[in-house]
Amino acid sequence: MDGTVLVADDDRTIRTVLTQALTRAGCRVHATSSLTTLLRWVEEGKGDLVVTDVMMPDGNGIEMLPRIKTLRPGLPVIVISAQNTIMTAIQATEAEAWDYLPKPFDLPDLLSRAGKAMESSRRGMRAPAAPAHSAPIAAADPSAAEDLPLVGRTPSMQALYRLVARVMNAELPALITGESGTGKSLIARALHDFSDRRGQPFVLASAQDFGADPLGNGAALTARARGGSLVIDGLGDLDAQAQARLVRMLDSLPDDGPRIIAIADGGLNAGLDSGTFRHDLYYRLSGVTLHVPPLRERIEDIPLLADHFLARAAREGGTPRRLSASALEAVRQYRWPGNVRQLENVIRRLVITGQEPEIGRAEIEAALNAHPAATPLGEAAEAGTLADSVARHVRRYFELHGADLPPPGVYQRILREIEAPLIDIALEYTGGNQARCADLLGINRNTLRKKTNELDIRVTRRRKLM
């Protein structure tokens, strides 16, 4: 690797390590703890690559990137930061940094990226930049970013953050996958809230929305979403009719229509394999796929998330608390079947119920014992009571609307979500016999007939299972 690298970091140890490693790799290195000095070197024409920290004593490294771009348009910049949130990745991408790496970074990885950056610069190539923005990202509400528990320094989460930053303004539909409680709804909100579409509506659609659409083409949904984002939650739960309606809607979207974001739990692949989920619909929705890893696969992020939830609870008026070393070890050892949502609920309970500044191991273990034990992946969807399942879905519905409340009529929409599968399955188990089904449900036959018409449930003679 040949070239001159300008390093700016206020941590002497990091400057020393980078200087030694880059020198051994064949580079010449100028290192400083000052952004003012770094900018002077850039103005003097020094350097083939800049590696800079974000938070410096005399300024912000990301905020300086536009100045560097003006002075030296072809000079690549790699941003390194101890701020392991999605906002850092988004801001670095919008400022057209060549790359972004969280601290602590893998040294061979940084050297590899540095080599690619300088080689591409010599060839006149540029890093893939974010699409042009009609408004700076700072226009988004900064407090919204602080409230999103999208925190993590593990490689899987940092890769996800970089991908979100690259595709947030893409015209492609986005498919977000992952287990329940991992934060898929937060990724959907981030894609909308930090994009150029953030001034337009954010509309949530479910299986019932497509089942209840009399036109069968989603016209009402697209009209509501306008040029914003239309989020289809519970993609894997769509039945054949709803899938067909969704295909028709996607095929009729206008050029100035909403961006489609679909959310699916782990069962989507099984549906594709079994043929119960349409492959053509999957291909229409998976323009870019973002997978949110489960918490057990990013154990190193658990302390960061716990601190985030403790701090937020304290800001909301709770007792300021911290985890003891032994409590933190218990948290790291737990499997977290409910993922980030479960961790947040446990932390909230500890803040409400405890008064001591420090949370001990016995207290955290008691809180964890109140939750169901981890289950095998294939059984995760079956764990808990019906009320637990409904609560998870209702909470996710509210979370998807962020700081805003859902449109009026939540009660009826949620009841329809429960009513449709209840009636459909009851008909299945009574062989399509409406009189017997009505008796089983405890309603009269006229009410059942009215419900099947309203919910667009096909009533046919079925295989009798009871």
Q: Are strands 59-60 and 49-53 parallel, antiparallel or unpaired?
A: unpaired
Q: Domain boundary at 369, 388, 418, which?
A: 369
pLDDT reading at 380 higher than 70: no
Q: Domain boundary at 291, 316, 337, which?
A: 291
Does one domain contain both 338 and 461? no
pLDDT averaged over the chain? 84
331 touches 347 (CB < 8 A): no
Work out the pLDDT band at 460, boundaries 50, 70, 90. low
**Tokens at residue 297, please?**
């696969």
Does one domain contain both 190 and 283? yes
Is residue 400 domain-resident?
A: no
According to DSSP, residue 31 is labeled E
pLDDT attached to residue 354:
87
Is residue 145 domain-resident?
A: yes
Does one domain contain both 72 and 53? yes
Instruction: Give the domain range for residue 443.
Output: 408-466
Indicate the number of domains in the chain.
4
The answer to whether the pTM exceeds 0.85 is no
pLDDT reading at 327 higher than 90: yes
Least confident of 180-184, 263-267, 435-439, 446-450: 263-267
Does one domain contain both 118 and 149? no
| CATH number for the domain harbouring residue 147 | 3.40.50.300
Is residue 14 domain-resident?
A: yes
According to DSSP, residue 47 is labeled -
80 touches 114 (CB < 8 A): no
pLDDT reading at 290 higher than 90: yes
Does one domain contain both 336 and 244? no
Is residue 447 domain-resident?
A: yes
Give residue-wise pLDDT tens across range 217-274.
577 889 999 999 999 998 988 888 889 889 989 999 998 999 999 999 877 888 888 8
227 touches 196 (CB < 8 A): no
Does one domain contain both 337 and 279? no
Does one domain contain both 351 and 452? no
pLDDT reading at 181 higher than 80: yes
pLDDT attached to residue 402:
57
Q: How far apart are CA 391 and CA 388, in angstroms?
A: 5
Does one domain contain both 311 and 426? no
Give residue-wise pLDDT tens across range 73-104.
999 999 998 877 788 888 888 888 999 888 87
